[in-house]
Amino acid sequence: MLWPREAGEFIASKCKDVQINRDGVKKAAVTITQAVIDGNVKLETFTQNELFPLHKGLSEEELANWIFLVDSLNFNFWTPDGEPKFTVQWNGKTYKGYMAMVAAINRAIDEGKRIYDPKYYTSLSIDEVKHIFRSLTSSTMPLFEERLRVMKEVGETLLDKYEGSFAEVIKKCEKSGIRLVELVTNDFPSFNDTAEFEGQKVAMFKRAQIVVSDTWLLFRGQGLGAFLDIDELTMFADYRVPQALAYFGALEYSESLTQKLKKQTLFKSGDREEAKIRGCSIHAVELIVEEARKILREQGTNPAGLNSIKTDFFFWEYRIKNSQLLMKIPYHRIRLDKPQEVDDDPMDETDLAEKVSWGEAMGWLEKFVNWAERHPAFPVAMVMRGHLYYKDVSLLRQQSVKQADIRDMFKRAAKKAEAAGIIREAQAASTASNATAKSPASTASNATAKSPQPTPEPEPVAGPSRPLTIDDLLDLDDPPPYGGFSSDSD
């Protein structure tokens, strides 16, 4: 298996959809070089510092546990365009995405919750976790169920193997960041971030390297944060830093890949496209660091303090601080292929059929088709197929109504129809029709019925504006009869 630095170089040498542009690399290097000269690329200047809980009376061991929990949950925070973002307010500021998650954990500490303690967070109910990560918006933290699973995994492993202390994991590595990455990826499966590319297993190890870098940053390279090989780590291949690299022109995408990104194609973890972008991002940052160090030496500045970690921090913050400017740059979107269930005894298909009503299932399907209708990744033809599928399912639903339920169904339908005035209209129409049939004019008409004359058109009968459908016979809470979706549907 190739580790991140070698993996990045290998991927960059093999792929055509993503290219590293040397002019863009130099442009990015000049930008970070100026920031180094201005004193803005130091451990104490990075934005992450404002979220470290350094003044809450936590011990070094508790701070290490805090870091490990935060970094365990640091994945996949993007939100589909047009949907409310996961947002948390803490300490007078509003945070979104990853930083909202960190702020929520700090808010829980302020509320007296020992959220950093694996004994505590592995014992929480789902509702308690939902409360801790509550959002200012209607959204929840993305991939909530998967994050619950990860919390359980890392907490139980810490308790079983390391006495509930991530500090013990760090100490076992004897001041080696590489050894810590290796241990974390071996003992905590959710950190084992690898892919297959051109027959070669390649490692990205994003979160495992972030654990090392955040520990180094929080403890300022001292004590638990002292790693003698810190410069051996690479950038942390996510989806935001590549966006910044593409903005500077260091990364260039083929037309076909660009179109996929613009259409917000959803890739799976480990897909070739994802591996290409992440691998080339790693190698591009290595080249930027090399170029920046060269420029610094030429200007008489010691380049020793600049490494891949600081470069990653810098361009990640650049993306955050210039979000409006970089919004036009498409980025790759990943969702887990099949999130594992938190429930140890998930519903099987039989349970699902018994516990989910037609109304619920139809409601879900309606929401999905409506969402697809507004999402740019879905072509018109596919949306139309979705509408037709909804209609087919509606017919299937009608056919599934059991004969034994007909009597009760009609009783409910009668109450519903009466409330809507349908029965009164039908009764009035029926009375008017009977009265017409018994009138003298009607009798005379019958007497001459044998004489040849044109058949008159039947008079329209006042009554319901449309025939009753099977949906009229169902509960009021069920979805309305199919007629397309309104633009304000969820």
Structure tokens at 146: 């998967």
Task: Name the phi and psi angles at 170, rounded to 5.
Answer: -60, -45
- The CA-atom distances, in angstroms, between 212 and each of 370, 402, 471 are 43, 61, 59
**Beta 87-90 vs 18-20: how paired, if at all?**
unpaired
Structure tokens at 190: 């959710």
Q: 203: part of which helix (H) or strand (E)?
A: strand 200-203
Cβ partners under 8 Å of residue 421, min gap 6: none
Cβ partners under 8 Å of residue 8, min gap 6: 234, 237, 279, 280, 281, 282, 283, 286
C-alpha dihedral (100, 35, 323, 108), degrees to nearest 10: 0
Q: Which one from 71, 193, 238, 312 is the annotated catalytic residue?
A: 238
Give the dihedral sign, CA 121/123/124/126. Answer: positive
193 is known as an active-site residue: no
> Cα–Cα distance between 356 and 352 in angstroms, integer?
6
SS3 393: helix
Report yes or no: 342 and 152 within 8 Å, Cβ to Cβ: yes
Q: 87: part of which helix (H) or strand (E)?
A: strand 87-90
Cβ partners under 8 Å of residue 456, min gap 6: none
Nearest to 34 by CA among 290, 292, 297: 292
> Cα–Cα distance between 415 and 181 in angstroms, integer?
67
Report yes or no: 95 and 87 within 8 Å, Cβ to Cβ: yes
**Beta 251-253 vs 93-96: how paired, if at all?**
unpaired
Report yes or no: 39 and 239 within 8 Å, Cβ to Cβ: no
Structure tokens at 40: 């803005």
User: Which residues are annotated as catalytic?
Assistant: 238
